[in-house]
Structure formats: structure tokens, C-alpha cells
Structure 1
Amino acid sequence: MKPKNMGQINFFTEMSEHQISAQEFFGNVLLESIKRNFGLKKIVIFFFDVQGKFLSLINSEDTKKNDTKHPYKEFVLIDIIRHIIFQDAVRDKLTYFDVTPRIYKSTDIISKSDYNKSSYVEFLEKNFNAHYSLTVPFGINAYIQVSFFKSYDEGDFSEEETEELKKIYVYIANSYKNFKKYEQAKIIANIQNEIIARGEKAYLITDDFMHILSYNELAKDYLKDIFGEAVTEQINSEIPCYWLPFLLGDDMSNDEKDIKTRIIKNCIFKIYTYNQTYSNGIVDKYHWITISQKIPIKKEFSSSEDKLTKTEERIVELLHKGLTYKEISNELVVSYHTVKKHIQNIYTKCGVNSRFELYKWIEERE
């Protein structure tokens, strides 16, 4: 293994250009770039969920598909290397943004006296034509694992090769970190557009590991009223929030259509799920949370002039079904601004300030 002098620069350049249009980072393009720039040919990328369940793999010698039916699906149950990697990652709370080298050499984990006759070596030889491995993990709870293989004739990874692979780990980890930041910026923008379309005023966006990725000042003011001034120290994408588990609860659904509601003090929290799904089987979960103040709801109209028109009644019905302003304008064949004006009138007549309060008004009226 002899990494080229320009390998690092070329690799970063290729990955930076790739991230602009790529849907996924760990795939065929990455494999080809590693082979081309660092001279490593026998590579397998394994994919797991955050609980450690095997999802699929890509073999550098057959990069046309993610193999979900590979014999490794059964072998993972006794794969001591994977077990230790997962255990360490959970303990250390490994995420997308860790770039410190994590190297797992098979002959360092399985004793020399047992190695050649171990089930691990038997599996490598039968399925990958390899005898030695060196594995590096990435992502949440090490749900992505890149293994480099060598045959018996090639010999085990030397100290020099291991040091080079530590450097390569850093190159890949930093490129992946940049990719995730770029990807998350796009996801946050998409979610913010959805929030605006729904007419919500206070919001925050989180990942599934208790990091707040985005918020606005009104949401922060509401949170300070509930959790105190110290909440501002927790609004940081690099630090998990101690109060988010309390807010999200432990019954969050995987279904994007499922909406959870929490009422804390005088605030109403509506929690939505956003799933980013990849071809390798991994699903990254994000949550977006809207906040509104709970106010007394007017059950009756003060005069006949305050009653909803037929058009407004129809809009209330469509809002209750979850349609956005844009979808309502398409349904009624009117402009977006006309719908917005109708909804402002509906809120005034019903004495509400948000869609959730309107739902409560409908329920109490019924």
C-alpha cells in the first residue's frame, strides 16, 4: 500500500465536488476515490442502524448494488470485531462529526494463537478472499464501517500501513463531516419552508440525538420561560440538550405523518418527524417542533357577522386535514395570498393564534 503524495489533495477535491450533487457519501464514488488516490483495493463498506442491526454492504469488487442478503447478515451475530466497534461507539457517543482516528485491526482483537483458526478468518477467506482486516467506523453509533482487507500471502497490516490508514481515516472523516453539514443545511432549509407554509411563528429543528440544529428567537423566548435562562447554553448543535428528551418523550414514531403534541406550562409544542432515507437502509431522523402559547378559546361567535363564511368553513376543514396554504390554494383554485387572508379572518373570528388552537376550537365546538 503506497498512498500517492497528492492522494490527500485529490481525495478532498473529489469529495468536495461530489458533495454538491451526491445523495449519499459512502458509496461507489468514495470507494473509487480511495482506490485511485491511496492504492487500497480490497474494501467493504458495511451499513447498520443506530441499534447495531446489519442493513447492507458494498464490496469494492462489486459496487453495483447494496447487498442486503449477504452471508454477513448471519455472521454479524458472532462478529467480535463489529461487537467491540459498536460497544465503543455507543460508549463514546460517536456521531457524524468525530474525526479522531478509530482503528480496529483484527489481529489486535483476536489473539495470535486463535487467529488463523477463528470463525472470523474462516468467514473472510470464504466470502472476501481475505485473511486480515483493518476496520474504521463512522457516523452515529458507528453505523457505517469501512473494512480494508489483505490476503494471507500479502501479510498483515504493518505499523507503517496502520499509520497511513489513520491518516486516511482523518481524510474520510473530515470529508464526511463536511458532507453532513452541507446535507443538514439543505434539510433544515426544506423544513423551514414547510414551517413557513404552515404559518407557524416559533420553531426549532433537532436531530434524533438531542442536538438543536436551528431555531428562531421567539422559540428561544418560549423555552426560556419554561426552562430558565440556562436553556440558551443548550441551544448548540454540538451539545446534546438535557431537556429535549423530556420534550420529545420516548414514544416518537418513525412515521413522518404522525404528529405528537405536548403542553408544558402555557405553551403548546407540536412535534413532527422528518426522515432522511438512504439506499443502504440507513434512516436519519430529524424533528421539527412548533411552539405556540395556550390561550382561552372563544367557543361562541359574538355576533352573526363573526360567523364563518362557507369558504372559510371549507378552509377550516382543509386546515384540519393538514393541508398547507399552498395546497389549499390549489384545492380552491385561488391565490396563496387569498388563502392567507381568509385564514387571518378565521383566526380573528375564532379567537385563536395558531393551527393547533384552531383544532382545539373545532373540537370544542363539535
Structure 2
Amino acid sequence: MDRAEDGRLRFFSELSEHQISADEFFNVVLLDSLARNFGLQNVLISYFDPQGNFLSWTHRNGVLADCEEHPYRRCQPADVVRQTLYREAVQDKLTYNNVTPRLYHSTKLIPPEDYEQSSYVRFLEENFGALYSVTMAFGINAYIQVAFFKSREEGDFTPEELSQLEQIYVYIANDYKNFKKYEQAKIISNIQSEIILSGEKAYLVTDDFMHIMSCNHAAKVCLDDILGGAADGLDGSRPCSWLPFLLGSELGHAENRVQTRVIRDYIFKIYTYDQRYSNGIVDRYHWITIARAEQPAAAGKNSEALPAGTGQPLTKAELRVARLLAKGLTYQAVADKLVVSYHTVKKHVQNIYLKCGVNSRFQLYRWMEQNDPKK
């Protein structure tokens, strides 16, 4: 076995281990593995949000978040590589499921007569001692890019090196895809536990790009009733065409706030879950519960009376928890906000439901609207 093949196998093995144990996939561990197995020392990972705004970068020299003095700020308006790969990623609806190589060679994007005088190349020379680059695009709208640099003395990337980088792309993309699967499975499991504890029966979980990540049978029954059996896209393989129409702009609201929408005879409660990373990226998910609207008990009243509770007043601690739950915070978010344990919050919620005579978040939301002293 030659050294090149041995390096590829070690890299593949290290990435496979990394995808299971890492909290974040694109980090200095990846840079170390590229250097160790392929001799690729001058590599930069840059992070953006899905709208293309720069967040931070990671280099072997260190991590640098965006700030007024960040060197990338001067280059960004003239970064033709970033502009091209972002435009194509949006056009192609790039996500973390892509494993087809997406490489952008700087000498192919900038005309030869302008190359060495371009702002982009001056940026490479000043910050990385480089003249040439090949950049890989990953994730939603290419919000992660990995750039490989070579100096004037090393020369431009050869066809053989470009071929090797394509192979490296495939290794990274496949392991990143698996990393996201593991991560999303954990997130969905946490959200489902939250929903079950809340007492809601019908629910679905989506990402911020209209993919259905999870949908239980009770929610499918409700959606089929609303849409006349046309609730397609529930397997999450593609963006759901009817979800924006059904829910409008509610999916853009802030973290830890709940939105309510009534559609026909159903009440939709929309919550958010933000997965935050140290590089500044925020992946947003939504969990949506569906319940039949309760019929008015009598003329002039908005809804039927809630079940009778114990009549005992809420303690100050319970009232604080109830207010945060009514705003849409998860149990863990309430615990973090109040600096108490998750189990303490669960105990408070049990007491709140018993005292208020409610069985779900929505009923608690209604109860708080009618009985919160602050209202």
C-alpha cells in the first residue's frame, strides 16, 4: 500500500470517528487530519449564515469571529469565489445532503490578465502567503466553505491535486451528511420528548427550509383533513410545498416564542428550537402542534371553560415557569433561564397543570391569558 492510499484510509477512518464524537464537524480537528494525512497545511474554514453573511473563520493560526477589524471585511465585496459559490448554492438549493464535489478554483474564476492585481489575490497574499486557492462548498446555501491555498513558489493546483481534492470532498461530504443525521436524530428525539411531556397529541417537526423532519400519525390525519388528502412531502426528502402556504410567515419568528394560527377547525402552535455553534451558525428547527379548536360554550364567550383545577394559587416559582411556558420556551430553556434543573421544571409543570386544571401547553396558554395577574 503506497503512502497516498494509506493517508486516504487514515483520513476516512478519522472522519468516521469524528462524525460520531464531535459536537461540531468543521473545526480544527478536521484541519489537523488534512495536514496529517495529506500534507495540506494552509487550509481555511469559513462560516456564513444561510443568507450569506460572514460569521467567522478557523485557520491553523486560530479562530477569528467577525468584527470591525476582521481582515475578511475588506475582501468580502470583491470575493468573487464566495460570490460565485453562494449564488450557485442558492440556485441549486444546496444542503448538507450533497456529496457531489463542488470545487471553485480561483484561477478559473478570475481572468488571467486581472488575476495577480485582483483584490481577492491580494487578500490571499496578505493573510495566508498564498497566490492560488481551491474552495469547497458545504451545507445550507454553502454556509461552510473550506479553502486550500498554495503559494507562488508552490505553483497553481495541478489536475492531479484537483482530482485528490475531489476525493477529499466526497469523504468530507459523506461524513458531514452522517454527522447531521446523528445530530438531527438527537434534536428530534429531544423535541419529541418535550411534546409528549406537554400533553399534545398531534405534531410535526421541521427545519427552517420547509423540510418535514418528523410527523406523527395524528398530525397526518389533521393535515389530510385540512388539505383534502394532499399532504405530500412528509418524508422530508424535499421542501414541503404546502407548508409555507399553510403557516405563512410564522416560521420566521424569534427563538423561544410561540405563534398561534387557526386554520379551519384546527389550532397550530409553532415553537422554535435553535441549535447554536461556536462558529456563529444557528440551525433553526420548528415543532408544530395541531389540535382541534374547542367550540364556544355559549354566545359571547370565546371558548369553553377549562377543566376545574385544585383552586390553589400558583407559587411565585410556578408562576414564573408558567409564564415562560406560555411564551413557548422548552423545559430545558426554562431551566436555563431560571438556573434550576430540568427535573425541577418538570415538577413545577406537574403542579401547574394540576392547580390550573389544564392538560396541555395550549390550555395553559389560554389559562394564563385569562388569569395571569400581569394581563
Q: TM-score range by the shorter chain?
A: 0.7 to 0.9
SS where residue 176 of structure 1 aligns?
Answer: helix
Q: Give secondary structure in 1 for the equivalent of 2:314.
A: helix
Distance 1:361 1:319 in 2: 10
Residue equivalent to 1:98: 98
Structure 2 segments unaligned to the other structure (5+ residues): 302-306, 332-341
CA separation of 1:276 and 1:355: change in aligned 2, threshold 3 A:
closer
Q: Who is 1:257 aligned against?
A: 256
TM superposition shift of 1:310: 2.1
Structure 1 position 309 matched with structure 2 position 310: yes
Query: Could you say what secondary structure the match of 2:135 adopts?
Result: strand
Contact 1:197–1:326 (CA under 8 A) maintained in structure 2: no
- Residue 177 of structure 1 and its aligned partner are, at CA, apart by 0.3
Equivalent AA in structure 2 for residue 285 of structure 1: R
Aligned residues of 2:208 and 2:251 also touching (Cα < 8 A): no
Aligned equivalent of 2:362, options 345, 350, 356: 356
The residue type equivalent to 2:310 in the other structure is T
Which residue of the partner structure matches residue 84 of structure 1? Answer: 84
1:43-58 equivalence runs, <5 A: 43-58=43-58
Counterpart residue identity of residue 73, structure 1: R
Q: CA deviation at 1:101?
A: 0.6
Instruction: Give the aligned residue type for 1:48.
Output: F
Cα distance, 1:308 vs structure 2: 3.7
Mapped partners of 1:26, 1:89: distance in 2: 18
Offset of residue 250 of structure 1 = 2.2
Contact 1:298 1:361 (8 Å CA) reproduced: no
> What amino acid sits opposite 1:330 in the alignment?
K
Answering whether residue 363 of structure 2 is matched by residue 346 of structure 1, we say: no
- Structure 2 residue aligned with 1:161: 161
Residue 303 (structure 1) aligns with: none
Alignment of 1:19-58 (within 5 A): 19-58=19-58
Name the counterpart of 1:271. 270
Aligned amino acid, residue 322 of structure 1: L
- Alignment equivalent of 2:347, drawn from 330, 336, 341: 330
- 1:163-182 paired onto structure 2 within 5 Å: 163-182=163-182
1:216 aligned partner:
216
SS at match of 1:6: helix
Matched residue, 2:131: 131
Alpha-carbon distance, 1:227 to partner: 1.3
Tell me how far 1:327 sits from its aligned partner: 4.9
Deviations 1:206-229 (A, max 9, x none): 000110011110011101111122
Q: What SS is found at the alignment partner of 1:107?
A: helix
Q: Which amino acid aligns with 1:55?
A: L
Q: Distance in 2 between matches of 1:308 and 1:165?
A: 65
2:66 matched residue in structure 1 = 68
Judging changes above 3 Å, is the alpha-carbon distance between structure 1 residues 320 and 127 closer, same or farther for their aligned structure 2 residues? closer
The alpha carbon displacement at 1:178 in A equals 0.6
Residue identity matched to 1:295? E
The Cα of 1:170 is off from its aligned counterpart by 0.6
Q: Which runs of 5+ in 1 are unaligned?
A: 301-305, 348-352
Structure 1 residues 125 and 222, CA, compared in 2 at 3 Å: closer, same or farther? Answer: same
Residues 238 and 6 (structure 1), Cα distance of their counterparts in 2 relative to 1, 3 Å cut? farther
Is the 2:96–2:177 contact (alpha carbons within 8 Å) kept by the matching residues of 1?
Answer: yes
Q: Does 1:201 align with 2:201?
A: yes
CA separation in 1, counterparts of 2:346 and 2:96?
A: 40
C-alpha displacement of 1:339: 6.8
CA RMSD of superposed structures (Å): 2.7
Is 1:242–2:241 an aligned residue pair? yes
Does the aligned pair in 1 maintain the 2:261–2:268 contact within 8 Å?
yes
Shift of 1:113: 1.4
The one-character-per-residue Cα deviations of 1:305-342 (angstroms, maximum 9, x if unpaired) are x854323x53996646527696566349xxx5x777x3
Number of matched residues? 345
**Identity across the alignment (%):** 52
Map of 1:7 onto structure 2: 7
**Could you tell me whether the CA contact under 8 Å between 2:308 and 2:357 is conserved in 1?**
no
Change (3 A) 1:362 1:119: closer
Q: How far is the alpha carbon of 1:254 from its aligned partner?
A: 5.2
Secondary structure of the structure 2 residue equivalent to 1:322: helix
Aligned match of 2:59: 59
The answer to whether the 8 Å contact 2:310/2:357 transfers is no
Q: Which residue of 2 aligns with 1:291?
A: 290
Q: Could you say if the C-alpha distance between residues 294 and 246 of structure 1 is closer, same or farther in structure 2, counting changes exceeding 3 Å?
A: same
Q: Partner of 2:336 in structure 1?
A: none
CA shift for structure 1 position 284:
0.5
The one-letter code of the counterpart of 2:244 is P
